């Protein structure tokens, strides 16, 4: 499976993640789905394997090798369970990423080792009920009073919100400055006034906790400002490349799992005296699914390699995320179709893959936003 595209170390990471997914994730994914919660034991095990510190350097007790290794690991975990892949991608990219890039030495020393080891989990509080991709339209406010920041507002769609020990919260500090008046803060979730209102009931990735959060006179020390005052929008946007590579890899993993389930079923299911894979219409569907998955993987690995090379890859990451997420829905839909009526039942995993794949076109920037960003880059395209 795509060995030629990976070096030896990257293959070792992939194989480790695949073995873990098959042995420790797949047998439990349906139970986690019903419980609406990922088992604490598997989170601890992922931390011990280094899967939760994959973008953090060894200096801060992480396991960073390169973004290709990260992408293939997210794919493998997501093939085991899309919800766990979401948890892993979000914790790495927007839980650890902003602190790694913008935190001072004290903030890194305080948080990164525990985050990288999975002893603490991070979440990212940007989206609000009225503001999703429009990050400069936030209403949450932060005021500096007597040496403390006081935060008030509401956040929506906070992944890992109930499990997290640390929240990266974006709030307006200088309303008169518009988009230059947004700042970022490190908020321990046990701070009085940080209130998890509810866990949302979702179509898919149900085991991944997604929460609404209220900040009510939530007071944190002045030194919990992340980066410079007024640089919140830059911090929010800085993790787009890595975040979108992660979600593209998640979509890829879900699609691959759906394809493999459909392929196995097509080899076993007999209709009109032969396995349905021998019927041309089914064989063509499987051929298209396989081709689309391989094309998506090439886009994901290309974006990851550009990031590893230190090259700007916002458009490439957006292309990978756009193609992989839309591909995943098509592939999962075809997998349900190949299963026929059984594909619509919970007895078979493809109905879960179909539901899990749908979100990948929405979070970390919707497909519409990805197209907008890709189109903007075309103004600089060299002919």
Q: For 101-148, how does the pLDDT look when each residue is reduced to its tens digit (9 = 90+)?
A: 999 999 999 999 999 999 999 999 999 998 876 777 899 999 999 999
Q: Which helix (H) or strand (E) holds 171?
A: strand 166-172
pLDDT band at residue 2 using 50, 70 and 90 as cut-offs: low
Nearest-10 Cα torsion for 39, 40, 46, 48: -150
Q: What is the pLDDT of residue 131?
A: 83
If you average pLDDT over every residue of the chain, what do you get?
96
Q: Is the pLDDT of residue 4 over 90?
A: no
- Residue 379 Cα to chain centre, angstroms: 29
Predicted TM-score (pTM) of the model is 0.95
Q: Which of 122, 99, 89 shows the shortest CA–CA distance to 235?
A: 99
Residue 129's φ and ψ, nearest 5 degrees, are -55, -30
pLDDT of residue 133: 67
Q: What's the CA gap between 322 and 232, in Å, rounded? A: 25
Per-residue pLDDT, 136: 73
Cα distances (Å, whole numbers) of residue 30 to 33, 204, 223: 5, 12, 43
Q: Flag whether pLDDT at 24 surpasses 80.
A: yes
| pLDDT tens readout for residues 178-223 | 889 999 999 999 999 999 998 999 999 999 999 999 999 999 999 9
For 211-235, the pLDDT digits (tens) are 999 999 999 999 999 999 999 999 9
- The pLDDT of residue 1 is 59
Catalytic residue among 268, 364, 368, 377: 364
- Catalytic-residue membership of 364: yes
Residues 16-34 have a mean pLDDT of 97
Distance of CA 312 to the CA centre of its chain: 20
CA distances from 333 to 52, 293, 330, 344, 353 (A): 31, 14, 5, 10, 9
For the cut 90, the answer to whether the pLDDT of residue 383 exceeds it is no
Spatial contact of 195 and 213, defined as CB atoms under 8 Å apart: yes
In this structure, which long-range contacts are made by residues 305-308, counting pairs with CB atoms below 8 Å and at least 24 apart in sequence? Answer: 305/67, 305/68, 307/67, 307/241, 307/242, 307/245, 308/66, 308/67, 308/68
């Amino acid at each position: 499976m795509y060995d030629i595209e990976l070096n030896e170390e990257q293959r070792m990471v992939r194989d480790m993640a695949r073995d873990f997914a098959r042995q420790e994730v797949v047998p439990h994914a349906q139970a986690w789905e019903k419980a609406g919660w990922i088992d604490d034991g598997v989170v601890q095990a992922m931390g011990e394997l280094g899967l939760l510190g994959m973008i953090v350097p060894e200096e801060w007790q992480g396991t960073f090798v390169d973004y290709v290794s990260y992408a293939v690991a997210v794919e493998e975990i997501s093939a085991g369970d899309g919800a766990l892949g979401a948890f892993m991608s979000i914790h790495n990219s927007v839980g650890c990423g902003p602190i790694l890039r913008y935190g001072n030495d004290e903030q890194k020393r305080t948080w990164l080792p525990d985050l990288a080891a999975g002893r603490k989990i991070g979440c990212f509080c940007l989206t609000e009920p009225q503001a999703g991709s429009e990050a400069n339209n936030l209403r949450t406010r932060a005021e500096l009073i007597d040496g403390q920041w006081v935060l008030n507002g509401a956040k929506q769609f906070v992944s890992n919100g109930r499990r997290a020990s640390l929240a990266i919260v974006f709030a307006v500090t200088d309303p008169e400055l518009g988009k230059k008046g947004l700042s970022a803060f490190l908020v321990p979730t046990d701070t009085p006034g940080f209130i998890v209102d509810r866990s949302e009931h979702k179509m898919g990735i149900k085991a991944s906790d997604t929460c609404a959060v209220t900040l009510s006179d939530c007071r944190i020390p002045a030194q919990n400002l992340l980066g410079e005052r007024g640089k919140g929008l830059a911090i929010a946007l800085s993790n787009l490349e890595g975040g979108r590579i992660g979600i593209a890899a998640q979509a890829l993993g879900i699609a691959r799992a759906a394809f493999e389930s459909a392929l196995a079923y097509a080899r076993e299911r007999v209709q009109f005296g032969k396995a349905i894979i021998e019927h041309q219409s089914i064989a063509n569907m499987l051929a298209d699914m396989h081709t689309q998955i391989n094309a998506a993987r090439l886009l994901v690995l290309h974006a990851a390699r550009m990031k590893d090379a230190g090259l700007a890859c916002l458009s490439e990451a957006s292309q990978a995320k756009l193609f992989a997420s839309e591909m995943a829905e098509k592939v999962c839909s075809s997998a349900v179709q190949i299963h026929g009526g059984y594909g619509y039942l919970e007895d078979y995993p493809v109905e879960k893959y179909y539901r899990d794949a749908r979100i990948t076109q929405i979070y970390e920037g919707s497909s519409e936003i990805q197209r907008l960003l890709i189109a903007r880059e075309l103004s600089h395209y060299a002919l």
